Amino acid sequence: MIQVSVIIPVYNAEKHLDRCVKSVIRALEKIHSEILLIDNNSKDNSVEIIQKYRKKYPGIIRAMQCLEPGAGTVRNFGVTEARGKYIWFVDADDEVTEDSVSKLLAVAEQQKADMVMLGMKRIYADGHKDYLSAVRPDEDNYKSRFVRYGLGPVQAFVKRAWWLQCGFKFKEGIIQEDMEMMSALILYTDKYAAVDEPIYHYYQNDDSVLHKTSWDPHAFDIFPALEGLYQRFKQADAEKTYHDELEWFFIWNLLIDSAKDFGKFPEGKPGFERSREMMKKYFPKWRKNRFLKQKPLRFRMRVRLNYKK
């Protein structure tokens, strides 16, 4: 039985794909596994690189193609094609440590976990680094932190049968495809574990889809993504239980993170009005949010200014 399927969406990734694939191959040594390299209409030499690895590692590399655009679509396709007991989404411009898969697999098996969250080192274009810790199940109110954390797909090592049983799918056609779902995963299991170590290296490249230096209309994808997230909590009858956490998630993603893009480009100005409308619709009393109140005055003033723009 294949133990682990690593799913790697590939789109114009020739600059970084070698580094990524080599790191994953090293991490999978002595583990019955597979790597799904899924091209998504690349215009550079990514396909040639994929074929090079398929020929060199025919027993582990599966070269595939998904014509419908978008990382969410590719990940959904990868899940349907995967054969492993566990799946892990890895981005083509990142890398993993040599001991990453062995640690994740050991914890998942020992604790019979549906999901294992991992720590992530972020590496910026200017060379500085920081660390995003994993939410540990031994923390008080760990589910609260998980909901407001905003983890990405690469931080979750999951049991494929559980993923399929719950019917999880990434939203397709937008670049914020993971936001609608990832914070809601914890609603569906108590079999949760963590490896709080920097075993994933996330490169924040200036040319990546989320770090554009020119206006991209997909910046407005934040709105359907957050709408979908709220509806997912509502369907699970959890929007009241996690009201404060969801409210904080909206505050951060609309009035802090997205506001940077909206304010940077003239085309983004309508985003401020849409943000106000969304906050009025779901969280009209957001100024009283308990997590916001814990922040310094300067931070809170910045949030209020972004709301008024």
- Give the range of the structural domain holding residue 184, as residue numbers without chain letter: 4-204
Considering the domain architecture, whether residues 193 and 241 belong to the same structural domain is answered as no
- CATH label of the domain that carries residue 93: 3.90.550.10
Considering the domain architecture, whether residues 24 and 157 belong to the same structural domain is answered as yes
**C-alpha to C-alpha distance for 253 and 272, rounded to whole angstroms:** 12
pLDDT at 105: 98
User: Which of helix, strand or coil describes residue 223?
Assistant: helix
Considering the domain architecture, whether residues 149 and 237 belong to the same structural domain is answered as no
What phi, psi does 232 have (nearest 5°)?
-65, -40
Considering the domain architecture, whether residues 149 and 223 belong to the same structural domain is answered as no
**Within a domain: 145:** yes
Q: Are 86 and 113 in contact (CB under 8 A)?
A: no
Which residues of the chain have a pLDDT value below 70? 206-212
How many domains in the chain?
2
Considering the domain architecture, whether residues 53 and 185 belong to the same structural domain is answered as yes
pLDDT at 212: 60
**Within a domain: 100:** yes
**Which of 172, 204, 236 is the last residue in one of the domains?**
204
DSSP E strands in the chain: the ranges are 4-10, 33-39, 61-65, 86-89, 95-96, 115-124, 129-132, 156-159, 192-204
pLDDT at 301: 96
Considering the domain architecture, whether residues 117 and 186 belong to the same structural domain is answered as yes
pLDDT at 209: 46
**Within a domain: 71:** yes
**Within a domain: 69:** yes
Considering the domain architecture, whether residues 223 and 177 belong to the same structural domain is answered as no
pLDDT in tens, 123-169: 998 889 999 999 999 999 999 999 999 899 999 999 999 999 999 99
